[in-house]
């Protein structure tokens, strides 16, 4: 555990007992779009003490990913059942290996 007396603001020297959290957009040139970040600031002078991607936003995004993955998994199961049924139908249409194909009449 960190001794709170050791946590001092680099700008004003105040002891950091708690930090003000501010939401802000973040991104860079290689990242298309922005994402949410948070800045931790000194309550006395407002000096930024640190910045990170918003931990709550990560949790929200992970829950969205889990939800979509479960939905896709269910949809893939339905597709697999349909493909299995279709495969069985196609197999029923194919002649047996030693059986000649059915004769068709040619139209003149």
With a cut of 70, say whether residue 33 has pLDDT above it.
no
Backbone angles phi, psi at 30, to 5 degrees: -80, -15
**Quick one: 49 and 74 in the same domain?**
no
Q: What is the mean pLDDT of residues 54-70?
A: 81
Pair (47, 34) in one structural domain: yes
* d(C-alpha 9, C-alpha 46), whole Å: 10
Q: Residue 66 phi/psi, 5° resolution?
A: -60, -45
Q: Give the CA distances from residue 23 to residues 12, 36, 38, 83, in Å, rounded to whole numbers and listed in that order.
A: 22, 7, 4, 48
Q: Is residue 99 part of a domain?
A: no
Domain extent for 36: 8-53
**Residue 47 shares a structural domain with residue 60:** no
pLDDT of 49 > 90? The answer is: yes
Which residues, other chains included, contact 79 with Cβ-Cβ below 8 Å and sequence gap of 6+?
A: none
Kindly state whether residues 35 and 63 are assigned to the same domain.
no
1 in any annotated domain: no
Secondary structure letter of residue 31 according to DSSP = S
pLDDT digits (tens, 9 = 90+) for 76-107: 999 999 999 888 888 777 766 777 766 777 76
Write the Ramachandran bin of 22: left for phi over 0, alpha for psi from -120 to 50, otherwise beta: beta
Q: What pLDDT is attached to residue 89? A: 84
| Six token digits for residue 65 | 């990913």
pLDDT at 43: 94
For residue 13, is it within any domain? yes
Asked, for residue 32, whether it belongs to a domain, the answer is yes
């Amino acid at each position: 555990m960190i001794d709170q007396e050791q946590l001092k603001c680099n700008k004003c020297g105040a002891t950091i007992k708690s930090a003000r959290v501010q939401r802000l957009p973040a991104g860079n040139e290689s990242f298309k779009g922005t994402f949410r970040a948070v800045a931790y600031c000194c309550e006395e002078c407002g000096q930024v003490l640190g910045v990170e991607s918003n931990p709550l936003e990560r949790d929200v995004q992970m829950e969205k990913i889990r939800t979509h993955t479960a939905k896709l998994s269910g949809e893939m199961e339905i597709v697999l059942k349909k493909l299995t049924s279709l495969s069985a139908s196609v197999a029923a249409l194919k002649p047996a290996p030693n059986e000649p194909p059915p004769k068709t009449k040619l139209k003149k």
